[in-house]
Amino acid sequence: MEAILQYVLTGLSVGSVYAMIALGFYVMWSAAKAVNFTYGDVFMLGGVLTVVLVEMGLPLLLAGGGALAIAALAGAVIERVFVRPFNREANAIGWMLTTIAVGIMLESFTTITYGPLGRPLQTPFVEQPIRIGGSGIYPQELILPVALVIVTFALEGFYRRTVLGRAMRAVAFNRVAAGLVGIDADRITLLAFALAGAIGALAGFLIAPVIQASSSMGVVVGLKGFMVAIIAGIANARGVVIVGVVYGVMEKMIEGYLSTAARDAIGFTIMILALLIFPQGLFGRREVQKV
Amino acid sequence: MKSLQNPPFPRRRAGLLGAGLLAGLALIGLGAPAQAQRAEPCIGASWELTGPLAHTGLQIRYAVETAIDEINAAGGVLGQRLRLVAYDDQGEPARAVDNARRIGERDNCIVMMGGFRTPNAIALREPLDEMGLPWMGVISAGTQVIEHPNGRNKWMFRVSMKDRWVAPFLVEAARARSRNGRIGLVFEGTGWGQGAVPDVTNAMRAAGLTLAGQETYNIADQDMSAQLIRLREANVDTIILYGVDREATNLVRSMDRLGYKPQIVSAWGVGVQFAQTAGPLAEGVIVAGTFTWMGQLSERAQGVLQRIQAKFPQVRGAQDLLLPSGTANAYDATYIIAETMKLAGRIDREAFRQALYRVNYQGIVTNYTPAFVANQERHDAIKPEAYRLLAFHNGQLVAIDQTPYAQPRR
């Protein structure tokens, strides 16, 4: 029982990170029908920049806010320079290559300047775990699911109750029609990538105290976040959140009861099977086109 | 006369034959660098200088450049200045092989020095044999780097630890510290980690013990709760660890979550950075190594540290020598190379190789008398007797006898 509780607790924490990354992919896809494959590195910026700013003397929260702002700016720049020019044609895929290339450059640059090793990010919430019998969790890890819920509802509210959010939904629904009613679709897309950048960096900022901030911290997380988004159905916000959390818990159960070494192989296999059965994603809807 | 009467064709043929012979000799001459008897007074190096392992190349470079400066300040080698020609292999075996070719054929260095990764060193076996180029490892501890499967290692030498010798050393340290004799093994899922499993299993068997648990994890794993829960259920109170700083930090964090505190006895993948990332959780973790720059140092070692700091201002102190054993091994290896060249009396690879079996040197790690013996098992200069137990105490990695963890906990 202690073991199950442990797997659920750590699974919730890890799954919340996957869900936040997947949520970022959802935001970008909704606006541009393209994503930023450097997103794992934007997640990394959240942790690494916070450490750098703290080392420069900024208080933790200010440093975290600064990191989020820079990551949002990075998201916007990536959209403007590396996605938009390569996503003009229908079915264009040039943005895949450019964003992957930028991701490699970003990680290399961080390795050169920040160093290849992880650095600690001290917060009061990783000093003492909360123990329940033989299980335990750091308060910092509990912040992650809470932050996920807040971000999800905030995003929902933003999309439904603000002019900007409604404009984003309009662009997501029909980019041309949105343009005809006066919405600057390019500007909205730019803002969506910036928003996604901030969400990714928030996940990096929150998990860094637990796992150390390093230049390579986003590689696997970015990949799994994207996989979660695809499996869930990338156009469904609630779906990506649910699948992200479930995948995190499932990973821990696989580690606990099947194999730690084969965790990713088993997890990916299950996801591929799920995609075979639900090609539109678990929460996706089949797109209907008039012909 | 006849021959004089009909000279044109035979002469032409003789001329062609001569030209062919000359061309053949020239071709042999072109191939000569591979078999060169004369070489340059340079140490060619293939290190991880960029990429995720860039810090490892830097840690070796600190020591080698400092030692070369000292050697040249004392008159160099055989009247010539010793040089370093360093290439980056980014931790990739194919690049290491390319670099070996450059070092052996273009730069014609007397010796090549290796870097961090065992797979890079293993990839060099055949190229080094072909070129007749001596190689000196300073970190890569894989047994098969030196003990080749064909039993005929001629050119590869090492001033470092050897995994096959490390395993019994770790098992003995773990046995002495386990209260209930329940020892577990945790290893990273890499060639190094997986390669340690048979070594540790054999060493345990030789000690009359069996592993109470065996767990692995993937590189970049952030949580090892599942593995630790299984080890806890198996009553393991001492863990032998084959991992590096980042994952070791995540391991002790997972232990902290569970409130499970077995004694960790680690191979030398855990370095100084662990103290910074794990903080108080690093306290009491024991590591096998050959040297540490922290704690009380000999006067000579203190001098070396000061000269490294003077040459490389980014090294603020011992806390910036992240791979303390590797840096010290590299320092000794550079001096062993210089002393061997002097003993050989000429800059010649075969003479150098023969002299390696005769060279004696008092290093900062150990006393090498002689450094090497002419069988491949003893192409390792640092014998197990020179291995040391180090321990993290108050944020520093120091010799275990300078900590409260010197006595086995009984």
Please report, as a single letter, which amino acid is at residue B39.
A
* Closest chain A residue to the Cα of B247, Cα to Cα: A211
Q: Which residues of B touch A214 (CB under 8 A)?
A: 246
Position B29 pLDDT exceeds 50: no
Whether the full predicted model's pTM is greater than 0.95, yes or no, is no
| Straight-line distance from the first to the last Cα atom of chain A, in angstroms, rounded to the nearest whole number | 56
Q: Which domains does chain A have, with CATH numbers?
A: 2-277 (1.10.3470)
Which chain B residues are Cβ-neighbours of A55 within 8 angstroms? none
pLDDT over 60 at B22, yes or no: no
For residues B364 and B140, the answer to whether their CB atoms sit within 8 Å is no
Do the beta carbons of residue A13 and residue A137 sit within 8 Å? yes
Report the pLDDT value the prediction gives residue A288, as an integer from 0 to 100. Answer: 58
Q: Which residue has the tokens 């509210």?
A: A157
Cα R_g (chain B), whole angstroms: 25
pLDDT for res B32: 42
d(CA A66, CA A60): 10
* Torsion from C-alpha of B356, B362, B366, B371, nearest 10 degrees: 10
Q: Does the structure show a pLDDT above 80 at B148?
A: yes
Q: Which residue has the higher pLDDT, B131 or A261?
A: B131
Q: Which DSSP string corresponds to B93-162?
A: HHHHHHHHHIIIIIS-EEEEE--S-HHHHHHTHHHHHHHT--EEESS---HHHHS-TTS---SEEESS--
End-to-end CA distance of chain B: 104
pLDDT tens-digit series, residues B196-237 = 899 999 999 999 999 999 999 988 888 999 999 999 999 999
- Is residue B258 within 8 angstroms of chain A, CB to CB? yes
Whose CA is closest to B170, among B322, B291, B290, B286? B286
Q: What is the pLDDT of residues A174-201, one digit of tens each?
A: 888 888 888 888 898 999 999 999 999 9
Mean per-residue pLDDT for A249-263? Answer: 90
In this prediction, residue A196 carries a pLDDT of 94
Note the pLDDT tens digit of each residue in B64-112.
999 999 999 999 999 999 999 999 999 899 999 999 999 999 999 999 9
A120 neighbourhood in chain B, CB within 8 Å:
276-277, 279
Tell whether the model's pLDDT for residue A116 goes beyond 60: yes
Q: Considering chain B, what percentage of its residues have pLDDT values greater than 70?
A: 90
pLDDT at A180: 87
For residue B370, is the peptide bond before it cis, meaning its omega torsion is within 30 degrees of 0? yes
Q: What is the average pLDDT across A265-270? A: 89
Taking phi over 0 as left and psi of -120 to 50 as alpha, with beta for the rest, B208 belongs to left
Which pLDDT belongs to residue B9? 42
* Rounded Cα distance, A81 and A77, in Å: 6
pLDDT given for residue A95 in this prediction: 84
Strands B263-266 and B367-368 come out as: unpaired
Residue B293's pLDDT band, with cuts at 50, 70 and 90, is very high
Model confidence at A234, in pLDDT bands (50, 70, 90)? Answer: confident
Please say if the pLDDT value at position B19 is more than 80: no
Comparison of pLDDT for B336 and A234, the residue scoring more: B336
How high is the pLDDT of residue A150?
96
| Helix or strand holding residue A131 (H, E) | strand A130-132
Q: Tell me, what's the pLDDT at B26?
A: 46
CB contact under 8 A, A117 and B245: yes
- What ipTM, to 2 d.p.? 0.86
The domains found in chain B, sorted by start residue, are: 3-161+298-383 (3.40.50.2300), 164-267 (3.40.50.2300)
Q: Which of A135, A137, A211 is most worth mutating to test chain B (most B CB atoms within 10 A of its CB)?
A: A211
How confident is the prediction for chain B on average, in pLDDT? 90
Per-residue pLDDT reduced to its tens digit, B245-256: 989 999 999 999
Q: How far apart, in Å, are the Cα atoms of B340 and each of A131, B129, B331, B335, B356?
A: 59, 20, 14, 8, 6
For residue A22, the model assigns a pLDDT of: 95
Judged against a pLDDT cut of 50, whether residue B6 lies above it is answered with no
Chain B nearest-CA distance from A273, in A, is 23
Q: Write out the H or E segment, with its range, that includes residue A274.
A: helix A263-277
Q: Which residue of A has its CA nearest to B233?
A: A3
Separation between Cα atoms, residue B4 and residue B27, nearest integer Å: 33
From the list A138, A211, A260, which residue is nearest B257 (CB)?
Answer: A138
CB contact under 8 A, B55 and A115: yes
